[in-house]
Amino acid sequence: MEQHPEQFSECVRLEMRKHIHQTYSKNGYDYYEIAYEYLDLNPYDDVLDIGCGMGEFIFKIRNKGHMGRLIGVDRSSDVVERARSVADKREIGADFRIGSAEHLDFPASSFNCVTALHVITNTDPRKVLSEAGRVLKAGGRVVIATNSRMSYPILQELKEKARERFGWFYSTEWTEGFETEIANEVLRLYFSSVEEFRFEDALEYPDAEVLVDLFRSNRGLWGKDITVAEWDRIVDWVREQAIELIPEHGYAEDPRNFSIFRCAKPLGL
C-alpha cells in the first residue's frame, strides 16, 4: 500500500502548509518578515525561537546580517535535523535543539528576544509564556504570532465533520488554545506591555484538492496510531466532502486572520 509522506514527517506537513499559503494567500503576508520588523533587533541580541520548525525564521534573521546568538528549539526531531542540515550546508551560524517549549533548557535571563510563531496554540500556553519570561533578560522582547479562532471556517468545518465521523482518531493533545481572541489577555499576565498588530488574509482554494491537501497537512493533530489504510479512508471521505464544498471549476475563499504580538519584560525585574 502506498505510504503517505505526511503520515510520518513533520517536515513534509510543514512544507505542504507553507506551499499552500505561499501559493493561495489572498494578501500574501510574509509573517516572518513582519515578525522580524517588530522584533527591532540590536545587532548582537541573543534570540531564542521557540517551536522553530525547519529554522526558516532563524535563517531569515541571520540572512539580514544579524550577529548575535541564534537558537531554535523544537520538540520534533524531524524538523530540528532538517534545520541543522540546512544550517550546515549553507554555513549559517545557528544552533538548533530538540526541546519542549514548556521546559526550556536555558538559565534565567539568557536572551534579549524570544519568538514563538504559530506555536503556542498547540502547547500549554501558560507554561510556555512563563518559560519565555524566565529565559528573557530584563528589558527583553517577545514576538508571538497566532491565528484568530475564526480562521479557516471551511477547513474547520471539514475537520469537525471528520472528527464527528471518525471521532476516535482525534488527538488528545488539543489544549485550551491560544488564539487572538484570548492571547492578549493571557499575555498581559506575563509581560509588562503587550502590543497587538492584526492582519486580515484568506486562502483562495482554486479547487477541492487544495483543501484536501491542507487537511492532510494537519495530520499531526490526529492520533499517532492511525494506519495508512485508515488515513486513506479519512482522506477519501474528506475529498468527497470537499468536492461538495468546492465544486469542480469552483472557487472558495477561507478567511484567515492572524495577529503578531510584541511584548516586553520590564527593566529591573
Ligand X SMILES: C[S@@+](CC[C@H](N)C(=O)[O-])C[C@H]1O[C@@H](n2cnc3c(N)ncnc32)[C@H](O)[C@@H]1O
Question: What's the sign of the alpha-carbon dihedral 89, 90, 95, 101?
Answer: negative
Q: Is 187 left (phi over 0), alpha (psi -120 to 50) or beta?
A: alpha
- For residues 86 and 74, what is the distance between their CA atoms, to the nearest angstrom? 15
Nearer of residues 132 and 208 to ligand X, judged by Cβ: 132
Question: What's the sign of the alpha-carbon dihedral 184, 20, 210, 171?
Answer: negative
Interaction pattern, residues 2-31, with ligand X; x per rule: CB under 6 A: --------x---x-----------------
Nearer of residues 26 and 118 to ligand X, judged by Cβ: 118
> Residue count at the site for ligand X (CB under 6 A)?
19
Interaction pattern, residues 97-136, with ligand X; x per rule: CB under 6 A: ---xxx--------------xxx--xx-------------
Least distance in angstroms from the C-beta of 244 to ligand X: 28
Nearer of residues 98 and 245 to ligand X, judged by Cβ: 98
Nearer of residues 72 and 140 to ligand X, judged by Cβ: 72
Grid coordinates standing for 6?
Answer: 505526511
Question: What's the sign of the alpha-carbon dihedral 203, 206, 211, 213?
Answer: negative
Grid coordinates standing for 183?
Answer: 492571547
Q: Considering only CA atoms, which of 105, 84, 113 is closest in space to residue 96?
A: 84
51 lines the binding site for ligand X (CB under 6 A): yes
**Window contacting ligand X (CB under 6 A); options: 48-56, 190-198, 209-217, 253-261:** 48-56
Q: Residue ranges of the alpha helices (H) in 123-257?
A: 125-135, 153-165, 180-188, 208-217, 228-245
Interaction pattern, residues 163-202, with ligand X; x per rule: CB under 6 A: ----------------------------------------
Grid coordinates standing for 168?
Answer: 476516535
Least distance in angstroms from the C-beta of 227 to ligand X: 22
Interaction pattern, residues 64-83, with ligand X; x per rule: CB under 6 A: ----------xxx--x----
142 lines the binding site for ligand X (CB under 6 A): no
**Window contacting ligand X (CB under 6 A); options: 61-69, 96-104, 131-139, 198-206:** 96-104
39 lines the binding site for ligand X (CB under 6 A): no
Least distance in angstroms from the C-beta of 77 to ligand X: 9
Angle at alpha carbon of residue 197, lines to 184 and 109, rounded to 5°: 60
Least distance in angstroms from the C-beta of 96 to ligand X: 11
Please give the backbone phi and psi of residue 262, each rounded to the nearest 5 degrees, phi first.
-120, 125
Grid coordinates standing for 8?
Answer: 510520518
**DSSP per position, 146-163:** EE-TTS-HHHHHHHHHHH
Please give the backbone phi and psi of residue 222, each rounded to the nearest 5 degrees, phi first.
-100, 165
Binding site residues, ligand X, CB under 6 A = 10, 14, 51-53, 56-57, 74-76, 79, 100-102, 117-119, 122-123
